[in-house]
Structure 1
Amino acid sequence: MVNYIFDGSFDGLMTVVYESYYRHQHPNDIFSEVNHQINFLGHDVFVSTDIDKSNKVQNAIATKISKEALRNIYYVYLSELDSSYMLIYKYIRLGFKIGKKIDYFIQNDIVHEVTKLSRRVKHEAYKMIELIRFKEVKKGLFIAKIHPDYNVLPVIMPHFAERFQDQYFIIHDQKRNLSAVYDKKAWIITDIPLENISNMKETKDYEILWKMYHKSISIEERKNLRLQRQHMPKKYWDMLTEKQ
């Protein structure tokens, strides 16, 4: 029995799909290294994330199955359920066999579960977009706090970045202790403590704050590649909830 272990990122999971295909191996299970316990009865294979391989898989899904299928896969990934990794793997393999009509096979257990989970995450994203209220904590700096059931920060951020292009803002996920930070140019998701902001003095120059964030994520010990890689690639943003 072969188990694939990856870093927990979306790109990492897509790399697992790539390696499985070219190694002609069907994994018994797929685990994130964060939650994985050593299996003494089977054979564990750690797969290093490869962006090029991930992109090839994503492009293949978008063209051979559909962009909607890729979006559904991404939403299922954001559900954060341990069982979602094998579910996504099975859905992709089935999709490459059936093609663009896969989601018409709603009576298939795999398709049904992917559709159900995707809808739940999509609904959660819609709900957050409707309910989020920002509070100005310092002049020119707005913060909103949420605690969604699913990890929807990567889904909702393009909406707010487009809507509030001329503002500094942070959306903090209290459940996961993650912050999505926007600096009028781009956004990142980081696990840097939100409390760091409260120590800032009143100032118009919040460039200092964002330099602090960017500097912190560049420190080797603080690098969190899983966070940096969990966003849907920008070329697929038009498929996300807030764009529909």
Structure 2
Amino acid sequence: MVNYIFDGTFDGLMTVIYVSYYNRQIPNDILSENSYQKNFLGDDIYISTDINKSDKVQNAITTKISKEALKNIYYVYLSELESSYMLIYKYVRLGFKIGRKINYFLQNDIVNDVIKLSQRINHEAYKMIELIRFKEIKKGLFYAKIHPDYNVLPLIVPHFAERFQDQYFVIHDVKRNLSAVYDKKSWIITDIPPEITLITKEEEDFENLWKIYYKSISIEERKNLRLQRQHMPKKYWDMLTEKQ
């Protein structure tokens, strides 16, 4: 029983798949080093991340399976579920056998699980895009906080970089302590926490006006908190200006 251990990165996982094929060895499990516990019943092999090997695997997936398959794999990886690593591995192996039609085989548990999980991550990304509220914390610098169930930060930043090309902004995933920083040219994701100060006077005035407007258009007799929670789960309320 061989377990592959890697650094938890996507390139690391792709390297694991490369090594497995090269060694003609099917692992019993694939684990990230952050959650790894020593296994005394089998062999544990640590696989160092190799960008070249990762690129080869991703190119092979794109050409032999499809771009859609590679996207599904990346989305499933962003779920951060420990079980997702073996699921991705099995999906890739199956894809190399079936080819471009793999996603039509929804009766297969592996394909079905990948598609469903990928859709959940995609839905979460769209939800964050809809909900994000930026605040001007310094003149010309905008900040927004999120705490999604899945690590969708890499999926949503391109949208805002395209939409707000002329603004500096930070999107802070407080759940994972990751920050996406955009400087009007490019963006990076870093684990360095942003330095948050009080919002600007203009931003405070705008927020107060928005709260007044929100309150003025609401009809107390028609307030339905249960329906609100159905359309907007309470866990997201702290991201909304009108709920603060």
Please tell me the TM-score bracket, short chain as reference.
Answer: 0.7 to 0.9
SS in 1 for 2:40: coil
User: Counterpart amino acid of 1:101?
Assistant: K
Counterpart of 1:67 in structure 2 is: 67
Aligned equivalent of 2:211: none
Matched to 2:118, the amino acid is S
How much has 1:185 moved relative to structure 2?
Answer: 1.2
- What are structure 2's unaligned runs of at least 5 residues? 201-244
Q: What's 1:136 paired with?
A: 136
Q: Does 1:172 align with 2:172?
A: yes
**Once superposed, which parts of structure 1, at least 4 consecutive aligned residues long, lie more than 2 Å away?**
196-199
Cα shift readout 1:155-190 (whole Å, capped 9, x = no counterpart): 111111111111110001111111111111111111
- Which one scores higher on RCO, CA 8 angstroms, separation ≥ 6? 1
2:159 paired residue number: 159
Q: Secondary structure at the match of 1:72?
A: helix
Distance 1:26 1:132 in 2: 42
Counterpart amino acid of residue 125 in structure 1: A
Alignment pair present for 1:13 and 2:13? yes
- Pick the structure with greater CA Rg: 2
Q: Deviations over 1:116-157 (max 9, x none)?
A: 100000000011111111111111000011111100000111
The letter of the residue matching 1:118 is S
Which residue in the other structure is 1:58 paired with? 58
Equivalent-residue separation in structure 2 for 1:182 and 1:47 (angstroms): 32
The one-letter code matched in structure 2 to 1:184 is K
Deviation at 1:198, TM superposition (A): 3.0
Q: TM-score, normalised by structure 1?
A: 0.80
Q: CA deviation at 1:197?
A: 4.3
- Where do residues 75-86 of structure 1 align in structure 2 (5 Å cutoff)? 75-86=75-86
User: Paired residue for 2:197?
Assistant: 198
8 A Cα contact 2:91 2:114, kept in partner = yes
Q: Could you tell me which residue of structure 1 aligns to residue 120 of structure 2? A: 120
Distance between the aligned counterparts of 2:40 and 2:183, measured in 1? Answer: 47
Q: State percent identity of aligned pairs.
A: 79
**Partner amino acid, structure 1, of 2:89:** Y
The equivalent of 2:95 in structure 1 is 95
Number of residues paired by the alignment? 201
1:28, distance to aligned residue in structure 2 (A): 0.2
Tell me the residue number matched to 2:24: 24
Q: Secondary structure at the match of 1:198?
A: coil
2:159 partner SS = helix
Secondary structure at the counterpart of residue 127 of structure 2: helix
Which amino acid is the alignment partner of residue 198 of structure 1? T
Q: How does 1:187-226 map to 2 (within 5 A)?
A: 187-194=187-194, 196-198=195-197
Letter in 2 for 1:45: I
Deviation at 1:39, TM superposition (A): 0.6
Cα RMSD, aligned residues only: 1.6
TM score, norm. by length of structure 2: 0.80
SS at match of 1:144: strand
